[in-house]
Amino acid sequence: MNLQSYNDQDLVKVYIAGNESGLQELLKRHKSKIYTSIYLLVKDQYLAEDIFQDAFIKVINTLRSGRYNEEGKFLPWVMRIAHNLVIDYFRKEKRTPIITSSDGMDVFNMLHFYDESAEDRMLRDQTHKDLKAMIHLLPDEQKEVLLMRHYADLSFKEIADLTDVSINTALGRMRYALSNLRKMLKTKEVSYKG
């Protein structure tokens, strides 16, 4: 049986019917694209391999349980699974990206103090902590774009492809995220001065 001529949908059917070579062909066909998209986000070879394996465990479990129904959209479906696992990883690790304002300046650098006293240093550290907490208060879609853009350093085109939205939607989510962070920072500054 020459599986190379089969499309993804037929390979899924072959695998579901009990022939492991259907999945092997799908893996061979898509592994590099899926792995690369994970690696671009996490920037760590071993972590990317772990997440890739977790993604395929989910794929196998879904296929075996008969819950797969993504007609002819195998690759986007697997990419979505992998992408969700990466986001889950970032949430668990509570890793915070560099946040830049609309003029491209790092928000943390804008908070820089010169010849800081102990009080200034404590205030700056608190502001950094507050900013990290504020990021986690953003709606998931905004937080996701912000993490992908500033932590994983992805382009808006890559973000749009990974999240399955238009570039304009990805840009809009980033605009809202930065706007919401600015509002939260202003509210905090008022409470510091008060």
Asked if 98 and 181 sit in the same domain, the reply is: no
Asked if 124 and 154 sit in the same domain, the reply is: yes
CA gap 107, 182 in Å, rounded: 10
To the question of pTM greater than 0.75 for the whole model, the response is: no
Asked if 97 and 120 sit in the same domain, the reply is: no
Asked if 161 and 187 sit in the same domain, the reply is: yes
Asked if 153 and 182 sit in the same domain, the reply is: yes
Structure tokens belonging to residue 120:
């200034």
- Which pLDDT score, from 0 to 100, does residue 42 have? 82
CATH of the domain at 160: 1.10.10.10
Decide if 47 is inside a domain.
yes
Single-letter amino acid, residue 7: N
| Residue ranges making up the domain that contains 58 | 1-104
CB 95, CB 30: distance < 8 Å: no
Decide if 110 is inside a domain.
no
Asked if 146 and 51 sit in the same domain, the reply is: no
- Which pLDDT score, from 0 to 100, does residue 109 have? 45
Instruction: Please give the tally of structural domains in the chain.
Output: 2
- Which pLDDT score, from 0 to 100, does residue 146 have? 80
CA gap 34, 192 in Å, rounded: 46
Q: What is the pLDDT along the chain (194 residues), one digit of tens a residue?
A: 788 899 999 999 999 999 999 999 999 999 988 888 888 888 888 899 999 999 999 999 999 888 888 776 888 889 888 888 888 887 776 554 555 555 554 444 444 444 456 666 676 666 667 777 787 788 888 888 887 776 666 778 888 888 888 989 989 988 998 888 888 877 766 665 55
Asked if 76 and 140 sit in the same domain, the reply is: no
CA gap 17, 50 in Å, rounded: 27
* Look-up of token digits 């989910």: 58
List 100's β-bridge partners, or say none: 106
Task: Compute the half-sphere exposure of residue 70: CA atoms within 13 Å on the CB side of its CA.
Answer: 15
Asked if 82 and 157 sit in the same domain, the reply is: no
CATH of the domain at 97: 1.10.1740.10
Asked if 84 and 124 sit in the same domain, the reply is: no
Decide if 109 is inside a domain.
no
